[in-house]
Structure 1
Amino acid sequence: MNNDELSVLADPMFEQYFLISREKLTLLFEAAGIRPDDTVLEVGAGAGTVARNMPPCKSLTVAELDTRLIDTLRRQVPHATVVQGDALRLVKELPYDVLIGNLPNVVTEELVDVLPELTFRTAVLAAGQHTDFDRLRDTFDITEVTTITGSDFAPPQPSVSRIVRLVRRNAGCSGRRMRERNS
């Protein structure tokens, strides 16, 4: 899919900007530390620009709220399980070791509030400049990976965002193993 096609798909009312920068995608994947035996969940998958470049993993589930993008996701990422639905509900219901999110800022703010109750090893989230992760420092090691803006996206994003990595402090267990132990 080229940038013009992506721009046509994007709905600015949903703050849809699809990450296309190879450099930023590489940084995102390095931060995620995806292993071949990991279960990965991407929320806010959009048109699949992140998912179709995902490193090998045991399974990949991509979730998107916008029904217009579901067929595009199925075509762009045929190896993934595509789920249409609300990210804040799905992160509580689906199993995963690694969480990747590129959600509208208002949804990311709500996601930050529920992260401590979720079981995963690593999360890599696109977040606004003012998203407060400090309240999570007791549970997670938090690292700002890079900033993302403008031409990193199709269509170009008008604001500056950042990619943030959160690693659970007791990361000796993957999310899946922690769930199994708690069952």
Structure 2
Amino acid sequence: MPQTLAEIRSLLAAIDRRPKHRLGQNFLHDHNKLNQIIEAADVQPNDTILEVGPGTGALTEQLLQIGASVIAVEIDPDLCQILRNQFGLDTNRWRLIHADVMANKHTLDPSVVEALQSVAQFSLIANLPYQIASPLLLTLACDHLALTRATVMVQREVADRITAPPADPGQNRSGKDYGPLSVMLQSMFNVQRIMTLPPGCFWPPPKVDSAVVQLTRHPKPLTHEPQKLRALVHLLFTRRRKQIGTILGRDAQLPPGVTPAMRPEQLTIQQLIAIQQSNVE
């Protein structure tokens, strides 16, 4: 049985602590939603799960009961104390890393990298604070190919950006949410929005809706040079209101169907990859 709201409150009260707003701590206590997330993640015995922000261990407990191995990364020392009290010292199926999962904007913490080095493949399950959602997902997508699936809770705004299609006036699509996060994740993964979570599913309730998004890595990625594509996409979308001919220059080699007058949000992922493969800087 997942933790109840009363149990979550009690675990924090036992160490005289409350949720920390600066760390984006909002604890999911809706049992139906938690069970739906576990079902969507399709966790199997002996799977390796990277759980970022395990909190009080509500999801961790379910994952261990299924028979998965959990590498949990928690930045808050108070929550680490709660997790140690519940699950004990590290074993071959449970490891707790007290760290910020991101060493910097583009690199995982070395202890997390070390824990993942011996793993042939792993899944990510996480309730991601706004400030780390994009850099973590982009880093795992591009630099850690052993990640096969991610099931993440993020602010709805981030979910909109992850799943956004390019602009298409004929379909009444503005492309305002389409950008580097959309392009890079969709080039590496099949992206699906699973559900929306209203604020009342969490304690304390956040000010905005959240959403669960699932990323399943393509058997054959659309690009084999994600870092080069990432650099091109960054160049284009930092000037997204400019025409690509202005951004790339008059001598740029553009693939069929792409004109200098187009803007970045109009380009499909395939077109962006074609531009990158033309060695346009």
TM over 0.5: yes
For residues 132 and 155 of structure 2, the distance between their equivalents in structure 1, rounded to whole angstroms, comes to: 11
- CA shift, 1:170, in A, is 1.7
Residues 61-100 of structure 1: matches in 2 within 5 Å?
61-78=71-88, 80-88=94-102, 89-90=108-109, 92-95=113-116, 97-100=122-125
**Cα 1:18–1:77, aligned 2, differ >3 Å: closer, same or farther?**
farther
Contact 1:149 1:158 in 2 (8 A): no
**Cα 1:21–1:76, aligned 2, differ >3 Å: closer, same or farther?**
farther
Aligned residue-pair number: 171
Q: Deviations over 1:84-135 (max 9, x none)?
A: 0121224544325111111211111211221322221111111111212222
TM-score normalised over the length of structure 1: 0.83
For residues 163 and 94 of structure 1, the distance between their equivalents in structure 2, rounded to whole angstroms, comes to: 26
Report the 3-state secondary structure (helix = DSSP H, G, I; strand = E; otherwise coil) of the residue aligned with 2:133.
Answer: helix
For residues 113 and 51 of structure 2, the distance between their equivalents in structure 1, rounded to whole angstroms, comes to: 13
For residues 128 and 68 of structure 2, the distance between their equivalents in structure 1, rounded to whole angstroms, comes to: 24
Which of the two has higher C-alpha Rg?
2
For residue 101 of structure 1, the aligned residue among 121, 126, 129 is 126
Contact 2:74 2:100 in 1 (8 A): yes
For residues 84 and 98 of structure 2, the distance between their equivalents in structure 1, rounded to whole angstroms, comes to: 11
Report the 3-state secondary structure (helix = DSSP H, G, I; strand = E; otherwise coil) of the residue aligned with 1:50.
Answer: helix
Alignment correspondent of 1:174: none
Alignment correspondent of 2:271: none
**Cα 1:63–1:163, aligned 2, differ >3 Å: closer, same or farther?**
same
Does 2:172 match 1:145?
Answer: no
- CA shift, 1:140, in A, is 0.3
Contact 1:3 1:155 in 2 (8 A): no
Report the 3-state secondary structure (helix = DSSP H, G, I; strand = E; otherwise coil) of the residue aligned with 1:30.
Answer: helix
For residue 166 of structure 1, the aligned residue among 211, 215, 231 is 215
- CA shift, 1:3, in A, is 4.4
Report the 3-state secondary structure (helix = DSSP H, G, I; strand = E; otherwise coil) of the residue aligned with 1:137.
Answer: helix
Report the 3-state secondary structure (helix = DSSP H, G, I; strand = E; otherwise coil) of the residue aligned with 1:157.
Answer: coil
Does 2:42 match 1:33?
Answer: yes
Amino acid at match of 1:2: E
- Structure with the higher helix share, 1 or 2: 2
Amino acid at match of 1:4: R
- Percentage of identical aligned residues: 27
For residue 154 of structure 2, the aligned residue among 127, 143, 148 is 127
Runs of 4+ in 1 over 6 A off after TM superposition: none
Report the 3-state secondary structure (helix = DSSP H, G, I; strand = E; otherwise coil) of the residue aligned with 2:210.
Answer: strand
Report the 3-state secondary structure (helix = DSSP H, G, I; strand = E; otherwise coil) of the residue aligned with 1:151.
Answer: helix
- Structure with the higher strand share, 1 or 2: 1
Q: Deviations over 1:145-166 (max 9, x none)?
A: 1111322112222221111111
For residues 69 and 40 of structure 2, the distance between their equivalents in structure 1, rounded to whole angstroms, comes to: 18
**Cα 1:93–1:163, aligned 2, differ >3 Å: closer, same or farther?**
farther
For residues 70 and 18 of structure 2, the distance between their equivalents in structure 1, rounded to whole angstroms, comes to: 23
Contact 1:98 1:122 in 2 (8 A): yes
Q: Which runs of 5+ in 1 are unaligned?
A: 172-183
Alignment correspondent of 2:20: 11
Q: Per chain length, whose mean CA-contact separation is higher, i.e. which structure has more relative contact order (CA < 8 Å, sep 6+)?
A: 1
Amino acid at match of 1:164: V
**Cα 1:9–1:62, aligned 2, differ >3 Å: closer, same or farther?**
farther
For residues 53 and 9 of structure 1, the distance between their equivalents in structure 2, rounded to whole angstroms, comes to: 23
Quick check: 82-91 or 61-70, which moved more? 82-91
**Cα 1:31–1:92, aligned 2, differ >3 Å: closer, same or farther?**
farther
Does 2:136 match 1:111?
Answer: yes
- CA shift, 1:18, in A, is 0.9
